Amino acid sequence: MSGRPPETEDKEQSGFGAFLDDLTGVNVDWRAAVLVPALAVLAALVVSVIIIIVSDIDLWREFSLSALGDSLAQARSAMWALLVGSFGSLTATSETLVFSAPLILAGLSVAIGFKAGLFNIGAEGQMLIGGMAAVLVGIKFSLPIVFHLPLVVIGAIVGGGIWGGIAGLLRARTGAHEVITTIMLNSIAGLAVIWMLNTTFFQAPGRNDPVSRDVLGSARLPRLLGFLDRTDLRLHLGIVLALVVAYIVYWILFKSTLGFEFRAVGFNPDAASYAGMRVTWLYTSVMALSGALAGLAGMSQINGVLYRATPGFAAGIGFDAISLALLGRSHPAGVVAAGFLFGALRAGGLEMQVATDIPIDLISVIQALVVVFIAAPALIRAIFRVKTGEEIGQLTKGWGT
């Protein structure tokens, strides 16, 4: 590959791409936006099947064709369980959407950072702080739901926003790289949550372990399918919130002056500064906004699903969000699509673990593989022998800036 210049492609496309352009009225690099992600997901699933088979310990103890057959059958039923567990029934679809809501919100958080040239690895910590703020508002005040819920949302935005804003301010004022500071802030947030959950204010009465009180009924996101009167349909307002927020983020990024400045800073901070944009303010505000979005993701988990906080309530969603934002190419629409996919993987993964004994941690492996294939389209080119459009290239900068 090296030595050859990257294939240049005309924006004018032919074939299916042109058809999609006509259909939607926008000119997008469809290969990069749709084909590569789809093939990346496919490749990752194939690799995960191989992992399932190779990791079968019975196969290692005594290799035989029938053992290989068993292991193939297990892999097949695992993939089937992934599908059934995510879209196989109304309950499954509801679960997929329940997982999608925080994933989309956290994915938007990472994506908006990428657009401004900042790599927010701190979504997990911002989720924790935003979620704890939502718990605080949720147990402290007793209000009618129409006032209480908005207050919870504001609390989560403020909590997550402050936590993200710290990293942005540090970057802007002192040059401390956001990758390092957000990793550290994650750890600090994790410890802070454990400490908070052991205080009398938060801790559930009669408990010795770090578990918070339940948030009040008026602070819970209403269930959307409540009229069906089934307890297994946990689908809540969070998914609507996530979609609305995705549109707002789209509007901010592509229709507002602020978003233009975010993208300008992401493209070239020096040029943006020369053009009179206040880089200090932009770095701080984009990280605060990013943190606020992650805070909403934490709120969606607390007030929509769990109703109380435990130390691990962010459940790695903040880290999945990184893969998710890359898969969605940091565009709100892409993030929503990737969010549904990752939500389906999480819901299906649970079913897979129950039905076939394949640990759900395989999902993290799949997600990591997806990102590898996305980030290195040359691999996809080599495997599938297709043209892949533009490369992602360098999103981050070294420590020295």
Partner 1 sequence: MTAATAAPGTPEVLIRTPAEIRRSRYLGFTYLFLAALVLLLFYRWSVDLGNFTFKLARPTDPSAPDLTLSAGRTTLIVGAVLAVLGGIQLSRGFGKATNIVLGVGLTLFIFAFLAWATAQSSLGQFSFVGMMNQTIVRSAPITLGALAGVMSERVAVINIAIEGQLLAGAFVAVVVASPLTQTDQALILGAPLGNWIGVGAAILTGMLLAWVLAVLAIRYVVDQIIVGVVITIFVGGMTAFLALRWLADNPQLNQAPIFKAIEIPLLTKIPFFGPVLFKHNIFVLGSFVFVALLTILLFRTRWGLRARAVGEHPAAADTLGVNVYRTRYLNVILGGAIAGFGGAFFTLGSVGRFDENMTNGRGFIGLAAMIFGRWHPIGAMAAGLVFGFADAMAQTLGILQTGVPSEFLGMAPFIATILVVAGLVGKARPPAADGQPYIKQ
Q: What residue ranges bind partner 1 (CB under 8 A)?
A: 1-3, 51, 55, 57, 119, 121, 170, 174-177, 179-181, 183-185, 187-188, 191-192, 194-195, 198, 319, 322-323, 326, 358-359, 361-365, 367-369, 371-372, 375-376, 378-379, 391-400
The sign of the dihedral angle between the CA atoms of 354, 307, 91, 86 is: negative
Burial degree of 9 (CB within 10 A; 0-12, 13-18, 19+):
middle
Tokens 């990758």: give the residue.
179
Shortest distance, CB of residue 251 to partner 1, whole angstroms? Answer: 27
Minimum distance between the CB of residue 371 and partner 1, rounded to whole angstroms?
A: 5
| Residue nearer to partner 1 on the CB measure, 73 or 194 | 194
**DSSP, residue by residue, 136-148:** HHHHH----HHHH
Least Å distance, CB 22 to partner 1, is 33
Whichever of 77 and 93 has its CB closer to partner 1, that residue is: 77
Structure tokens at 396: 């981050």
Q: For residue 22, which amino acid is it?
A: D
Instruction: Provide the β-strand partners of residue 236.
Output: 223
Shortest distance (Å) from residue 184 CB to partner 1: 4
CB of 144 to partner 1, least distance (A): 36
Is 144 or 385 the residue whose CB approaches partner 1 more closely? 385
212 - beta bridge partners? 203
Minimum gap (Å) between residue 327 Cβ and partner 1 = 11
What are the residues whose beta carbons fall under 8 Å from the beta carbon of 55, sequence distance 6 or more? Answer: none
Max Cα–Cα distance, the chain, nearest Å: 70
Q: Given the complex with partner 1, which of 88 and 316 has the nearer CB atom?
A: 316
Burial class (CB in 10 A: 0-12, 13-18, 19+), 199: exposed
In whole angstroms, how close is the CB of 202 to partner 1 at the nearest point?
Answer: 13
> Which residues, listed in sequence order, are joined to residue 203 by a DSSP beta bridge?
212
3-class state of residue 211 by DSSP = coil
Q: How far apart are CA 209 and CA 299, in angstroms?
A: 22
Q: Which is nearer to partner 1, 239 or 374 (CB)?
A: 374
Nearer to partner 1, 134 or 363 (CB): 363
Name which of 126, 100, 304 is nearest 219 in CA terms: 304
DSSP string, 51-70: HHHHT-HHHHHS--HHHHHH
Rounded Cα gap, residues 85 and 95, in angstroms: 8
Q: Which residues contact 392 (CB under 8 A, 6 or more apart)?
A: 326, 329, 374, 375, 377
Nearer to partner 1, 145 or 365 (CB): 365
Closest CB 368 distance from partner 1, rounded Å: 4
User: Least distance from C-beta 191 to partner 1, angstroms?
Assistant: 4
Residue nearer to partner 1 on the CB measure, 8 or 394: 394
Q: Are 92 and 235 in contact (CB under 8 A)?
A: no
Which CB sits closer to partner 1, 278 or 381? 381
